[in-house]
A and B are shown apart, each in its own frame.
Chain A
């Protein structure tokens, strides 16, 4: 077992792991951070998306040992100080149905908004194209992101 430490949602945390443990499993089963979900285990569905040093990545494709001393944000971290304008817009647009893809989708959109505060529709589609959703047909999600990022 190896001890690693990293910042998780703004708090310095440590955990004992074996080198072959997947970050998604460590977050979910060892650290109690349940918002990243597993939907494929092969990097196809995006339900496990987290922010690693601000970049949206799939936590099912990363070994936990790789995140030593780095900064991780999950949906729990985004929601900690109340809902963001993006989250509020998603509620107003009834953007999600079952909600299983929501944590990953929101982090992909958050990365986009952080780097591009007023994205166009094609940029939004591109940003969430790695997050599969079987319920909504994506349009309500896209509309909500557009609404949250429009210029006032």
Chain B
């Protein structure tokens, strides 16, 4: 085992000082000078309607208005995985609040005033609001052009329907599996939509200058993907990738909402109509809720068969996703779940049907967990219920079925090495699972709940990361990567990896959020893949730099290269303990020879990583044959809760969560993800709830009416546990864990509620009202 100096240490964040001093600048903090223009959006007041005409004349006459743009100015489709989205609505609106037009003016006030004067004439259409209705034969079509949309080869849209994608798994013999079962549980679970609630709004400023350069400053998880989508969408205007530059300042929270492209393309497009001026598009809290992405809702029919000992014989999971008006990104959530909805279990006979269904609700898209929180609410509720029915301990039934390294996943690839059993054992011990807790207060019920979790990065098979590494005169280092620090501590972890290879202290490594002109390619900061993917690229770049350093010293000092190594910012030699050469003496200047000449020059490393074994090529009827997921990260969690029987109010007393991150490059940051992710999970199950009116207008797009937790809503105790079973192709064995931490929370709280009160709630959120009604319902039936 190699001895590590920087990797595995809880270093302080390299951006810590910037963030606590007020120095950190976010997109809307940047200055663009007195020529800055402001855009205001005109929103459609129908969930589904044809646009007959748009009259912009009155708006154009407002003083200080430069122009009004509509869908006619940009008749282009765009999208990450399926090109079903438009910069502005074309002939129809598909969700309440969709952008129809924009006014560009010298002041925000003038833009707002003029936006109210854009007259749009609509013919309302019947709206389709639930995925179950949308798949009915006579349902109104939301995208009649579905069959013409470009999409990735692993999507299977059904033409002339509202089904944008159907991911199908057929593994083993499901009928036989159910026939062999001693017990079959068949039920339906409902998980509604949720909002990300990053505290910073989406913001984008774009400038199309007189030389034809399009620069976009955006609060973004995906600078390179944005460049790619802007250039592709605006290609008919003659704009190329070479013309587009995306600069990403600090990001005030993402959680998936700032991945891909949403409102940023509005700024990019508008800029082309006001050449030479920077133009700002700033979202507000309301639009954060209804016009970026929302987490998809799902109705999941789940049937699991087991033997008397709890071993799973067959599983059928049918998921109808409320994917919203545009699914260019959200359809991949549906795909990811389709591949993984057996959960972290060994299931020899499985069938899964995951349907991506268009509805006239805001676009569904990536949200921390990427669909796994949603399907595991049902599956982990189900496992608990099966255990109770069979009289098996709920932890034991999970242990018996837990997937092991080498087992076949639902799509037939081998499961990666993992510490699921260790996680189960560690959580069981820490929560003292065997100890039944009883409250002295008769009005308080105490319950314990357990849940497993797993998640794989959902990425195209050719997703790649890259890194440039350059030394400075003092042997400090600049690390150029294009992953984003969206708060998770990515940049600190990259610095630790480079520090380890180069034996340079972490504080001497500077790495910042990217500019696509200067920093090398990264797909996106999503899927919990950057510690693994970009970490590999950084490690390779550092090794490249180290090799150059050692080769140079070997050449100038005549030591065999294999005897040289780096230690404490110096080159040393195994066979010559008296030799040491400080890096700062030569990493820029080179090494002077006896004849006065210099050898070497600036040390610059490069690293590129792509998982060359990944493939989405498989039989579409069974999904067997490919290797779509690079690996899964697994873990276990348990909760102790108290419920007041009179009010239904749940108080979370203790949560224990163990996650196998392969190697914690920075244990403190791993724990930070656990603490934060658990509270976000608690929030989805106990507090957050979207309300829509009869027009499908969201009624509570604000923090007064859509509650997220404050410092007064914390669990009494959170115990994070780190498990480290190395990922064979991860940097120092690391794999991602950022999203995973919130995934087990909703089902384990539901399970704890059943343990406390004997009631099973199969829909989220589990509000006090729902608990009280369930208690009353049971009393009525008793």
Contact = CB atoms under 8 A, between A and B. Distances in A.
A41 interface: yes
Interface string B467-494: 0000000000000000000111100000
Interface of A is mostly: loop
A134 B20 contact: no
A76 B22 contact: yes
Contact of B253 (A34, A41, A100): A100
A135 B675 CA distance: 9
A97 B487 CA distance: 4
B16 A45 contact: no
B12 A39 contact: no
B704 A44 contact: yes
Interface string A119-137: 0000011101111111111
Contacts of B680: 134, 137
A42 interface: yes
B147 to A, nearest CB: 39
Interface string B443-460: 000000000000000000
B255 A134 contact: yes
Given A99-B487, A137-B678, A139-B675, A92 B285 contact: no
A126 B712 contact: yes
B199 A47 contact: yes
B199 A87 contact: no
A51 interface: no
B401 to A, nearest CB: 30
Contact of B22 (A75, A92, A98, A134): A75
A15 to B, nearest CB: 16
B727 to A, nearest CB: 23
B622 interface: no
Given A41-B284, A44-B702, A135-B487, A91 B17 contact: yes
A96 interface: yes
Interface in B147-178: none
Nearest to B282: A38
Contacts of A133: 199
A72 interface: no
B12 A92 contact: yes
B253 A142 contact: no
A23 to B, nearest CB: 16
A141 B16 CA distance: 13
B133 interface: no
Interface string B21-52: 11111101101000000000000000000000
B251 interface: yes
Among A35, A42, A135: residue with most chain B CB under 10 A: A135
B672 interface: yes
Nearest to A78: B22
A58 interface: no
Contacts of A100: 26, 198-200, 250, 252-253
Contact of A138 (B18, B488, B711): B711
Contact of B676 (A39, A44, A132, A136): A136
Contacts of A32: 31
B413 interface: no
Contacts of B672: 94, 97, 136, 140
Nearest to A25: B108
Given A74-B22, A100-B199, A140 B675 contact: yes
Contact of A132 (B22, B26, B199, B678): B199
Nearest to B250: A99
Given A44-B702, A75-B22, A138 B679 contact: yes
B720 to A, nearest CB: 10
Nearest to B31: A32
A142 B702 contact: no
Contact of B711 (A34, A87, A128): A128
Contact of A103 (B22, B487, B709, B718): B22
B669 interface: yes
A101 B488 CA distance: 15
A136 to B, nearest CB: 5
Nearest to A18: B109
A35 B22 contact: yes
Interface string B281-316: 000110000000000000000000000000000000
B685 to A, nearest CB: 15
A116 to B, nearest CB: 16
B13 A134 contact: no
Contacts of A1: none
A61 interface: no
A139 B718 contact: yes
B714 interface: yes
A106 to B, nearest CB: 7
A90 interface: yes
B724 interface: no
B101 interface: no
A95 to B, nearest CB: 8
B19 to A, nearest CB: 3
A40 interface: yes
Nearest to B13: A94
B22 A40 contact: no
Contacts of B18: 99
Contact of B19 (A45, A102, A130): A102
B15 interface: yes
A126 to B, nearest CB: 7
Among B16, B31, B675, B677: residue with most chain A CB under 10 A: B16
Contacts of A79: 21-23
A91 B16 contact: yes
B781 interface: no
Interface string A37-74: 11111101101000000000000000000000000001
A90 B679 contact: no
A141 to B, nearest CB: 8
Nearest to A141: B711
Contact of A39 (B10, B25, B200, B487): B200
B690 interface: no
Nearest to A89: B20
A80 B255 CA distance: 33
A83 B12 contact: no
B668 interface: yes
Contacts of B28: 28, 38
Interface in B179-221: 196-201
A140 B488 CA distance: 14
A95 B253 CA distance: 15
Contacts of A125: 711-712, 714
Interface string B672-703: 10011111100000000000000000000011
B666 to A, nearest CB: 8
B708 interface: yes
20 contacts: A34-B25, A37-B200, A39-B199, A40-B285, A42-B285, A42-B702, A42-B703, A91-B12, A91-B20, A92-B12, A97-B488, A98-B198, A99-B24, A100-B26, A125-B714, A128-B711, A134-B253, A135-B676, A137-B675, A142-B711
Given A102-B19, A128-B711, 14 more contacts: A40-B285, A40-B703, A41-B285, A79-B23, A94-B10, A94-B489, A94-B668, A96-B487, A98-B198, A98-B200, A100-B26, A129-B711, A134-B197, A138-B710
Interface of A: 28, 32, 34-35, 37-42, 44-45, 47, 74-76, 78-79, 83, 87, 90-92, 94-103, 106, 124-126, 128-142
* Closest A-B pairs by Cβ, 3 of them: A100-B252, A99-B19, A97-B487
